[in-house]
Amino acid sequence: MSAFFAARARCPSSMTHEAEALLSRYPKLDAEELERLATILPALSLVDQAALAADEHLSGRLAAYYRDRRECADAPSGALFLFLVCPTLLAAGALWWFLG
Q: Which domain holds residue 93?
A: 76-100
- Report residue 87's pLDDT band, with 50, 70 and 90 as the boundaries: confident
Within this chain, do residues 9 and 48 fall inside the same structural domain, yes or no?
yes
Which tens digit of pLDDT belongs to each residue from 27-70? Answer: 888 889 989 988 888 888 888 888 889 988 888 999 898 888 87
Within this chain, do residues 46 and 85 fall inside the same structural domain, yes or no?
no
Q: Return the HEC string of 14-59.
A: HHHHHHHHHHHCHHHCCHHHHHHHHHHHHHCCHHHHHHHHHCCCCH
Whole-model pTM? Answer: 0.59
Within this chain, do residues 14 and 62 fall inside the same structural domain, yes or no?
yes
- What confidence score (pLDDT) does residue 76 get? 63
Are 60 and 22 in contact by the 8 Å Cβ rule? The answer is: no
- In sequence order, the 6+-apart residues with CB closer than 8 A to the CB of 44 are 13, 15, 16, 19, 52
- What confidence score (pLDDT) does residue 11 get? 66
Within this chain, do residues 14 and 53 fall inside the same structural domain, yes or no?
yes
- What confidence score (pLDDT) does residue 10 get? 60
- What confidence score (pLDDT) does residue 92 get? 93
